[in-house]
């Protein structure tokens, strides 16, 4: 912030980092309107920029901001009440809004506004895209342009999506509460899926040149930590946090110095974050072994990630165990993507022919998916069927939307033409 004394600027930045999301949640708790709370808090921060350098940083910056924001919100409500008399058609659902403003706090069994905010943002009546965007905005405190960048859309598109979602929350009567205990498990699944969607949107972008947008993974892990801190010992949250922690521990090794994708067997394992792996394994042990449903899915994926994480060298990987874990995961989800991953594990454990059998029938279920021909190509290379592998690589390159991955495929296709075909022994 130009022109501000350093101490005031630092204090303001720190207050934003530490308190923005909590203050916003408190204001929504009080006024039940996201737009009003958001604007009032923005004005309070603007007031701080103006007054803190001259008057000094208040003893309790967060309380100062909350007081100012509350006053702004009340001013706004008063001016809306006046406008309401002049332009009755402009104000929607005024009575409901008034009722909401005085409603009793029925999320009391877990007293944290941020948790309520997260459940509101992840309400099943909102579209999955909107849930993720709202959570990043109102729980993580990202700006609209930061969220737009994470989702690879124009800022105006993301702003419109958020505006629509905020209107839906207000007009549809989506409550600002933590769900009742009998509905908590079901709603936690929705929240967890949103968190994982945010994580994977950064982990494996399918378009664009930026191979690993690690910051959305960081934000997803932050979201899960908030959730775990506020609602401890939930199997689905523990399993998800463990899975993400283990996968994220490999981030530095996944891209080479010149920006190329590095596959698991070729990664420099010294660049994995050992501390994070330990934390991930520790979380994994806290997940009950009989976890079911989505918690079981994350648990199985976490166990798979842990098998990779504990192998000192690629050759030490427990492929047999990984293949078994994938088999259970496939039975649970019926997902063709899981089948593809299982085929890789089976190929490593039992050889290329066993792997190729598992790829049968996947073409119809994963049309235009570049990983399928890429995986088939690698299996064919192992089986010594170089010419067929070349054809599969070509198809994969054609379908792949990510520049770094396409480069990797081209490199592999060029390599195999230099390898003489394997001649069967005997």
Partner 1 sequence: MKIAVLLYQDESVWANATEAEVAQYMADHDAFSEAASHRGKIVAGEALASVSTATTVRRRGDQVSLTDGPFAETTEQLGGFYVLEVHDLDVAVDLVKLLPEYTVELRPITEY
Residues at the interface with partner 1 (CB under 8 A): 88-89, 91-96, 99-100, 103, 123, 125, 171-175, 177, 179, 183
Distance CA 82, CA 377 (A): 69
Residues 6+ apart with CB under 8 A from 282: none
Kindly state the DSSP code that residue 188 receives in the 8-state scheme.
H
- Give least dist CB 95 to partner 1, A: 5
Comparison of 46 and 96: residue with beta carbon closer to partner 1? 96
- Give least dist CB 91 to partner 1, A: 8
208 three-class SS? strand
Residue 311 phi, psi dihedral angles, 5° rounding: -80, 120
Q: Which two tokens stand for residue 28?
A: 């929504």
Distance CA 273, CA 281 (A): 12
- Give least dist CB 14 to partner 1, A: 36
| Distance of alpha carbon 212 from the chain centroid | 13
- Give least dist CB 190 to partner 1, A: 13
Comparison of 1 and 174: residue with beta carbon closer to partner 1? 174
Q: Which two tokens stand for residue 33?
A: 């309107």
- Give least dist CB 171 to partner 1, A: 5
Comparison of 90 and 257: residue with beta carbon closer to partner 1? 90
Comparison of 97 and 149: residue with beta carbon closer to partner 1? 97
Comparison of 92 and 263: residue with beta carbon closer to partner 1? 92
DSSP H/E element including 327: helix 319-333
Nearest to 204 by CA among 401, 344, 410: 401
DSSP labels for 10-70? HHHHHHHHHHHHHHHHHHHHHH--HHHHHHHHHHHHHHHHHHHHHH---SSHHHHHHHHHH
- Give least dist CB 173 to partner 1, A: 4
261 three-class SS? strand
Comparison of 58 and 175: residue with beta carbon closer to partner 1? 175
Give 243's Cβ-side CA count (13 Å radius).
27
Contact call for residues 122 and 191 (beta carbons, < 8 A): yes
Q: Which residues pair with 402 in a beta bridge?
A: 208
Comparison of 95 and 313: residue with beta carbon closer to partner 1? 95
Comparison of 94 and 274: residue with beta carbon closer to partner 1? 94
165-181 exposure pattern, b = at least 16 Cβ within 10 A, e = fewer: bbebbbeeebbbbbbee
């Amino acid at each position: 912030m130009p022109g501000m004394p350093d101490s005031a600027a630092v204090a303001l930045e720190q207050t934003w980092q530490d308190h923005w999301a909590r203050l916003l949640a408190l204001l929504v708790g009080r006024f039940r309107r996201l737009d009003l709370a958001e604007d009032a808090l923005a004005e309070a921060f603007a007031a701080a920029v103006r007054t803190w350098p001259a008057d000094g940083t208040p003893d309790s910056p967060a309380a100062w901001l909350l007081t100012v924001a509350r006053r702004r919100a009340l001013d706004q409500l008063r001016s809306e009440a006046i406008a309401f008399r002049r332009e009755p058609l402009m104000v929607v659902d005024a009575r409901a809004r008034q009722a909401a403003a005085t409603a009793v706090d029925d999320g009391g069994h877990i007293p944290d506004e941020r948790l309520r905010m997260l459940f509101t943002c992840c309400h099943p009546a909102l579209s999955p895209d909107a849930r993720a965007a709202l959570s990043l905005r109102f729980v993580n405190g990202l700006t609209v342009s930061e969220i737009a960048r994470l989702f690879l859309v124009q800022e105006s598109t993301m702003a419109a999506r958020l505006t629509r979602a905020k209107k839906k929350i207000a007009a549809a009567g989506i409550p600002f509460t933590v769900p009742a205990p009998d509905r908590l498990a079901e709603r936690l699944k929705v929240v967890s899926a949103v968190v994982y969607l945010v994580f994977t949107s950064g982990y494996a972008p399918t378009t664009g040149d930026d191979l690993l947008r690690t910051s959305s993974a960081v934000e997803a892990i932050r979201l899960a930590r908030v959730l775990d801190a506020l609602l401890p010992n939930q199997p689905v949250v523990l399993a998800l946090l463990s899975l993400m922690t283990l996968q994220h521990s490999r981030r530095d090794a996944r891209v080479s110095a010149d920006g190329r994708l590095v596959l698991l067997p070729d990664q420099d394992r010294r660049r994995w974050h050992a501390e994070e792996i330990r934390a991930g394994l520790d979380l994994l042990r806290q997940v009950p072994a009989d976890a079911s449903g989505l918690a079981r899915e994350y648990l199985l994926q976490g166990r798979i990630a842990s098998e990779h994480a504990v192998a000192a060298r690629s050759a030490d990987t427990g492929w047999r165990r990984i293949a078994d874990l994938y088999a259970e995961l496939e039975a649970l989800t019926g997902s063709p993507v899981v089948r593809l991953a299982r085929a890789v594990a089976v190929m490593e454990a039992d050889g290329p022919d066993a792997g190729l059998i598992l790829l049968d029938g996947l073409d119809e279920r994963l049309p235009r998916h570049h990983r399928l021909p890429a995986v088939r190509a690698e299996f064919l290379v192992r089986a010594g069927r170089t010419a067929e592998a070349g054809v599969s690589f070509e198809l994969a390159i054609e379908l792949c939307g990510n520049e770094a991955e396409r480069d990797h495929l081209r490199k592999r296709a060029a390599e195999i033409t230099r390898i003489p075909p394997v001649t069967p022994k005997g």
